[in-house]
A = this chain, B = another copy of it.
Amino acid sequence: MSRLFTFTGSNQGPWVVTATNGVVGETMAEAKRVDIAAGPSPTHGEVVWRLRGITSNQRYVTRTENEQLVAKQVALGRPTSDRAAIIPIRKNAAWWALPQDERRAVLERSNHIELGLKYLPAVARRLHHCRDLGEAEPFDFVTLFDYAAADAPAFEELVEALRATEEWQYVDREVDVRLARES
């Protein structure tokens, strides 16, 4: 099972880019299409942007929370999921300097885990870590979401709610790339 994933914005790939928005900080150039591949970078014609991330162990979740998540969790790639979002974020130095107990406390006050749960199983997600892939990564995390077009309003609610939290005050770069599956 691959842990490393590469996200490539170019003129190739099954996902059509419907929007590229810089939410905080520098945005990314707009690509026409996106390819999401397990493993290292595949070859593409003209690469507009490339992100990579690796799935890893849980950093905050307790056993009880994990059981709730696993019970509702769904895999990416359901046939009905014709919409997706790739949201890379970077957190600032103040976040990374916080000890574990205080980062966890910020997540709790931000209802981060509850928010994710609330939109399951409508919105599937996979979190990829980038920060420790090397020292020159442009983002700390890339989250990939997918959902049915009918659940797009619910997805919008989820990202709006997250962006309003205390946790998001530590986000100093965020880009939001929306995708539709080629029909």
Residues of A that sit less than 8 Å from B by CB: 2-4, 54, 56-63, 65-66, 96-97, 99-102, 104, 129, 131-135
Question: A63 near B133 (CB under 8 angstroms)?
Answer: no
**Oligomeric state, in copies:** 2
Contact B134–A99 (Cβ < 8 Å):
no
Query: With a CB–CB cut-off of 8 A, which chain B residues contact A96?
Result: 57
Assess the B100–A61 pair: CB atoms within 8 A. yes
Known pairs A61-B100, A100-B104, A132-B132 / 17 extra A-B pairs, C-beta < 8 Å: A2-B135, A3-B135, A54-B132, A54-B134, A54-B135, A56-B132, A57-B97, A58-B100, A59-B59, A60-B100, A62-B99, A63-B99, A63-B101, A63-B102, A65-B99, A66-B99, A129-B132
